[in-house]
Every structure is written in structure tokens, then in C-alpha cells.
Structure 1
């Protein structure tokens, strides 16, 4: 299930120099079939078999679905459950003559935060072998109870593409962290990147470039 065939794909990046001018307009998706393999899934938020990747038919996005990605604190929560993370290693097989960058990422989930508590959702993106990473963080404050959505967005002039002709894993590391603050310790605050039926998704939108 974690090995997904696609009609052409997507992903996001935080990378260094590339053979493609960063400011040039993205190209139309290639018609050739593309493959995304999940080569690793590590972390308390995504035990192996609990994160699945699918690619949209129009080649403009891929989706990661989690089923056990919840951070919580307060009554009933263990001492390490305030933080959950998931690092995915994705092997993206790009059709010849193309490269890609991730243009934006949509994160969705559910949060129940008592008054006085807070939470953060943080994501890192980098290609294998890159020394630097791109970190984007979103903050939440209680009281809150309901669905949430946040978007990491990259401008066209800032898109960082995988260097043409290279094959590197794309690493995506996502973290949820909940702090009880001065909230009632007899109550539970939590934040999740899944739903009761395990179908809330994280969607990555891609930009394609001809080499």
C-alpha cells in the first residue's frame, strides 16, 4: 500500500542550486507514468504501515494519509505523548527530461486545546544529501475544538528544484507538539493529523520543470 504507482507526481522541497532557473515558469506535468516509493517511514506519528501515499490523476498533487498521528498532554496522556513526529523518505522516479519542486503543502487535522494550552505543527523538507533544510511552523492556541488546516506556500521565484538528472530521496519530516501551559491538568488537550476514520490527509502540490 505504501508503494504507489502514479500518472505523474508532486512534491515539495527546500534545496540548494539547481540546473533549472528558479524564476522560470513551471511546466505542464509530463505524460509519462511516474512512480513514488515510500522507502522509509520513521517516527512515533507514523509506525510502519500507518502512512500511505497516493498521487492524483492530474499529476498536480500527492496525498499522505496518517492513521496514528496524535500528540496529547494532560489527563490520560503518557509523558512522551506531547510530541509526535513522522519522517518519510520518498523515492520519486521522475520521467526523463523533467524535474520537480514542491510548490505548496496543505496540512489538515483536528485539535482540542483547553484554555491555556497551545500547540505547534512544524514541517521540514529536504533532498537527500542537502545540508540545509526548510522549516515552516504554524502555531495554535487554546481554547480550540475543531478541524484545522494550514498551508505552506512557496512563490514561483523561490521554487527549488531537484537538480536535473539526479536521483535523490525527498525527505519530509512533520511534527506535532502540544503544551499544557496553565490549562487544567485534569483535562486533555490534543492535536491530530488523522481523523476518527483515519482519512484526513496531507496534500503536497507540485511544480514541474523541463530540463
Structure 2
């Protein structure tokens, strides 16, 4: 099913474009983030100086269960509707995403990170997921690789939609104890890195 979705997305893209040897020069900016896990004011976005990636730092993106958790806290999501303002003559895809954070899972509890990526007006490329099983109390990392990398048509500035979801399940753990998964670290320095793949337009 995922292969069919990817094929459909590729069919809607333009012809094969030559790979750019290096990221384009000039200013690249990124706009717009929203979602229950990333309300306005709780994220910061920056583009690397060489235009090879952009980075998102979350300050309140966490799912949890147990004492003090609201019924809806077991699941949090963040939809990034990204408009990348790229230099003329280039289009971009996302070749890799590096996620990081912290989790505490009681024995028997589980957590999951799910993600999907698609350009506005193009077919979804399907979900990717990573799972964890308690007991665990440590920083976590996960990587999604774009294979194949999907690009929008040349000359069209389409938003890139990136959906992520954190979900924690009590499972067989003690419901009186807290389990959580955060896209953040104890020291507040964890970030999500979105790596660009640039191509030149004809």
C-alpha cells in the first residue's frame, strides 16, 4: 500500500531533476507550526547556516498517562505546515529527519512516534513509526529516511506538511504511576533536524 502511495506521489512530481552538489546560496526561511503538541509560542525554528537542514526545538510536546494526566494527554500531535522560501531555481525534499527526546515508561507501558510527510496537493507518502517498551527511563532517538525523496514541481511553492504523533499507552503497567514520552530532553537541548535534499530546476 505504501509503495503504491509513494508511486502516486512521484507521478505527480516533475521530471527527474539534477542533484545539486551543494545547498543553494542565499536566504532560506521556514514558517508556520501548529498542533496540540506544539501550540504557538512553544517552538523555535532555525535554518542551518549552510542551508542543509532546518531545526525545530519543542518546549511542551509530550504525551503522558497516569496521575495528573488528562484523558486526552495520552496522545499529542504536531502538524508542521512548512513554507520554505528557497532561492529561485531550486526545489527541495526531505532526505532524513532525526528526532530526539526523553521518555519514562513504567514496566508494561508502551509508546510510539508516528510521522508522515507530504507536499500540499500531492499524495501522502505514508506513515513511519517507532516503538518503545517499558521499563525505560532515558533519552530516545529515532530517524526517518526519505526513500525515495519526493520533490514538488519546479516553479510552484507548495507547503510541506509534516505530521507527528506521540502516544503513550498504559498497557499492563500500574495505572497509578506516570509514564510519558516527550520530544524534548531534560536539559532542553533536544531538537528535531529536518535535512534538505536540494535539486536544480531546468
Fold agreement, TM-score > 0.5: yes
* 2:113 counterpart of 1:121: yes
Q: 1:209 aligns with which of 179, 183, 199?
A: 199
Report the counterpart of residue 55 of structure 2 in structure 1: 63
Unaligned runs of 5+ in 2: 1-5
* 2:158 counterpart of 1:164: no
1:60 Cα deviation from its structure 2 partner? 1.0
Deviations 1:142-167, CA, capped at 9 Å, x for gaps: 11110000000124xx1111111111
Report the counterpart of residue 128 of structure 2 in structure 1: 136
SS of aligned partner of 2:127: strand
Number of aligned residue pairs: 193
1:88 Cα deviation from its structure 2 partner? 1.3
Aligned partners of 1:88 and 1:174: how far apart in 2? 8
Report the counterpart of residue 16 of structure 2 in structure 1: 21
Aligned partners of 2:58 and 2:143: how far apart in 1? 17
Aligned partners of 2:96 and 2:114: how far apart in 1? 14
1:120 Cα deviation from its structure 2 partner? 0.3
Unaligned runs of 5+ in 1: 1-13
Q: 1:31 aligns with which of 1, 25, 29?
A: 25
TM-score scaled by structure 1? 0.86
TM-score scaled by structure 2? 0.89
